[in-house]
Structure 1
């Protein structure tokens, strides 16, 4: 089909009511927030399987093609606070949950440590961009405190990569640090209390094919990870931390006048559970042994702290909306008058909310040869809160996929915006990032903030959704959705996928892209 015929096909076949129906089913109270490892999550998986079957999508959860499910084992690590401790300068025992807490460690049931505390800014080594917190700092065998987030001087997408928790852990592990301690500086992203409450539920890792565990609770060569409250740091530095932060913001990494030593013990309790990615394929034509892979995460966070009497975190926006978009894209593919050039994989992945773990497993253990996957198209929480006038194609500028996006948006009369929330590092906070690290060009598409009447007209609706709905029991099917905007989003992502699929040349990383280094 030529572009005009394809556009007409997308516009006439995409159906807002079907998108709404999928969201209604998957965000219903009966699914209790779709927490992996629960019976309700299995109901959600079966719903996706039923949809795949109705569309003629074949099983691809294993290489034999006998099941839609790619089973995965997960380990939850919870710190035993009664058996763990932290002592400052061999004198004072710190107060857990008030001054500090340890993070679960999937590899070590029990560790002891002792060492000097040093401060390393954001803990980022981005020398290729002229930024290196370790230029005059040796952290070998040290316990290192770092701020959450990353500096504004880095480009948005690269900043997202270097701000990533796993990137920081890997950096310090490679530099020989003994432990890593995160903190939120004034005005920084995150909070001590929120992080502590989350940590008490445990940190989850994924068992890889080699038997090792991967994810945020794997500290590499380091012994442990933890978190300090800012007021505690003020106390142990005799209020020097404010000056240290001020100097850091002026480009100087400095240390307290008096050395600080820490000694401690971390005891972890482990439990394991099973979940699965739901993976299917529609076969292509002349290049059927090459694949475009669509991903959207099926999981959410389950049942939690009640808010106004409601304890079910339904996850309608996050990410029943993304699953619904992927299913609708799959339906469009299934109704094409002829097969696309390449095959298309659809993967409803698990454990995204636990650290992109389902996609990490899939990207590292693909059900087809890794080199045969040409691109990843990800639909994670598109933010369907209004008419779609502009889009933010996160990561597209790093590869030839941007040309595809320009083609698709032009057909639909949409505008392309830069990421209006670079501080949220959204590029690395969804499953597309697992494929980027596997060397596969990827696209995560978000609603932009423009409306027909204003360059920022959708900003307030998106801000409201993020502050009042995101990761709350109020993330339900309701007035916050705009289904005409959702329909346009599906049309756009279908066009992007189809153009990637049917272009003879595979997507390539730009020669100057930082992420080209992940090519295999």
Structure 2
């Protein structure tokens, strides 16, 4: 009752005065207006079987986009899909490149045919439909050049014109956030492209994350999807640049052609020495890609601010999931309730709170529901490269992707916040909500680079991606089993549905926190800045 009277008084006061910034007490009380039932309702709509997994390019994805538009309209959020503000939809063309396996081949030492699907595979090339190549195999560890961290896989290694084999992932020697950046596929491809390599072939080590067969099944079926930017260049996942090709080798195949030397090469590498196979291995091949194209869109709107209305905080969450897939227990609809109907719902509730503020905040707020995240962060790539407002007017990105709403929120893991002044705001808001801040407990998952915030970081914009931590009220690891269940049994499976895995008390606290983070970023006079020692400061524009 006291909170209601306080907020009623606040509205009455602010209605008759110039814009007022809520102090901590008022902000905490206002954030408590987050509505659990609305969060649950949005998830129920977007993760319903009728939307068939929200795959871009399908009628069901269009239904999901139109649902977001209706929510925007109900909140008074103006369209900003283009610079004229004439539409909510920022349209783009997505090109899928799938290898034509019968037309492609790979030979070892000009005689031995390498078997596609069991020993190797190529990744589709969205820019060049057909390439032929020849080069000697060299191994380059993780394929990482990070001398600022005392790590360089290319010291005393010549890779120009070579077929370069690199391990997936990254070394524990690098800090978690930076490791995520250097582990990224495109970071490794760009490094080798600059060094003049002929091509890159990834491989999963026996103890590494992922495996050859599942990766081949996904790539050979779904292909590599890129987005066409405004200059006609295709960009996204596995963009080969100056490389002629890319793909994967199976570890067992590398064992067979090196007489098991690859195992000792891995052991040497782990002890700090980069060695090579004793015998020369030369590969010659041809990679032919076939294309299909679809149109999709981001859904973008804006709420205008006050005295700094020409500066923007951009909120993002991806709408897409993976559609219809391989049946599991008779269910083939991959609903994507956690991934990422939950993030969209959180962002819509943040937008509602902004729309009902008793006084406009200083800056304007962009709300961007993004497409094709599951295809390689393509919607955010397009928006970051083709911003609907001047690029230097975007001061920060607040991203919501699969928060992990599996229990009461006690601790949080603010991915990337430690790289910028945003961390000071997170410390303030978590203190107000009596939450603790933990480091990323899953650094091997490189989560910092696996969502849309990463493209804004690459555009020089400080970003925040907030995840549930593993603490509970009674235990330092109380949510660990629930998060593991989500990742192992629900993530990218038909079982990711609205059900008992959700905790809406925790969801409410999460939205409160993210709204407060956003509001303080918005209303603090100084724009967020990268820390002077941050690796990511180099991307400033």
Calculate the TM-score normalised by the size of structure 2.
0.96
> Aligned partners of 2:437, 2:321: CA distance in 1, in Å?
29
Counterpart residue number, 1:401: 422
> 2-side partners of 1:24 and 1:5: how far apart?
31
Of 84, 91, 114, 1:64 maps to: 84
Q: Residue 264 of structure 1: CA displacement?
A: 0.5
| Residues 123, 224 of structure 2: 8 Å contact kept | yes
Residue 303, structure 1, aligned to residue 341, structure 2? no
The equivalent position to 2:482 in structure 1, one of 429, 449, 461, is 461
Match of 2:371? 350
Deviation at 1:273, TM superposition (A): 0.6
Deviation track 1:305-349 (CA, whole Å, cap 9, x = no partner) reads 111111111000000000000000000111111101100000000
**Which residue in the other structure is 2:185 paired with?**
165
- 2:462–2:528 Cα contact (<8 Å) kept: yes
Distance in 1 (alpha carbons) for counterparts of 2:264 and 2:239: 32
Question: Structure 1, residues 459-509: CA drift from partner, whole Å, max 9, x if none?
Answer: 110011000000000000010000010000000000000000000000000
CA distance in 1: counterparts of 2:326 and 2:275, whole angstroms: 40
Corresponding position of 1:470: 491
Q: Map 1:372-411; keep pairs closer than 5 Å.
A: 372-411=393-432
| Unmatched 5+ stretches in structure 2 | 1-21
| Structure 2 partner of 1:285 | 306
Report the CA distance between 1:91 and its aligned residue: 1.5
Distance in 1 of aligned mates of 2:68 and 2:507: 19
Matched ranges for 1:187-206 at <5 A:
187-200=207-220, 201-206=222-227
Q: Return the alpha-carbon distance in structure 2 between the equivalents of residues 381 and 174 of structure 1.
A: 34
Separation in structure 2 between the aligned mates of residue 115 and residue 153 of structure 1, nearest angstrom: 31
Determine if the alignment matches structure 1 residue 334 to structure 2 residue 355. Answer: yes
Query: Which residue of 2 is the match for residue 318 of structure 1?
Result: 339
Look up the match of 1:260: 281
Distance in 2, Cα, partners of 1:471 & 1:317: 9
3-state SS of 1:173 partner: helix
Q: CA deviation at 1:217?
A: 3.5
Distance in 2 between the 1:313 and 1:440 partners? 32
Q: TM-score, normalised by structure 1?
A: 0.99
Matching residue of 2:112: 92
* C-alpha contact 2:185 2:238 (8 A) present in aligned 1: no
Contact 2:189 2:238 in 1 (8 A): no
Aligned-pair CA distance for 1:190? 1.0
* SS of the residue 1:268 aligns to: strand
Distance in 2, matches of 1:188 and 1:307, equals 26
Aligned to 2:128: 108
String of CA shifts for 1:66-125, please: whole Å, max 9, x gaps: 100000001100000011111111121011101111100011111111110000000000
**Partners in 2 of 1:397 and 1:50 — Cα distance?**
36
- Residue-by-residue CA offset, 1:236-283 (whole Å, 9 max, x unaligned): 111100000000000111100001000111111011110000000000
Matches within 5 A, 1:3-42: 3-11=24-32, 13-42=33-62
Deviation at 1:418, TM superposition (A): 0.4
Residue of structure 2 in register with 1:231 after alignment: 252
Q: For the residues of structure 1 that align with 2:525 and 2:284, how far apart are their CA atoms?
A: 59
User: Whole-Å Cα distance in 1 between the matches of residues 239 and 271 of structure 2?
Assistant: 33
Gaps of 5+ in 1: none
C-alpha contact 2:350 2:514 (8 A) present in aligned 1: yes
Question: Residue 127 of structure 1: CA displacement?
Answer: 0.7
- Paired with 1:475 and 1:28, the residues of 2 have a C-alpha distance of 11
Alpha-carbon distance in 1 for matches of 2:492, 2:449 = 18
2:7 aligned partner:
none
Report the Cα distance in structure 1 between the residues aligned to 2:247 and 2:512, rounded to whole angstroms.
44
| 1:205-241 per-position Cα deviation (integer Å, ceiling 9, x unaligned) | 0000100101124200000001011100101111100
Matched residue SS, 1:82: helix
Q: Secondary structure at the match of 1:70?
A: strand
Q: Paired residue for 1:428, among 449, 469, 482?
A: 449
The answer for the alignment partner of 2:538 in structure 1 is: 517
| Structure 2 counterpart of 1:127, from 141, 147, 150 | 147
CA distance in 2, matches of 1:363, 1:212: 15
Q: Distance in 2 between matches of 1:212 and 1:298?
A: 24
Matched pairs, number: 519
Q: What is the RMSD computed on CA atoms of the aligned residues?
A: 0.5
2:163 aligned residue (125, 134, 143): 143
**Is residue 271 of structure 2 the alignment partner of residue 270 of structure 1?**
no
Whole-angstrom distance in 1 between the partners of 2:524 and 2:91:
33
Deviations 1:30-55 (A, max 9, x none): 11110111111000000000000000
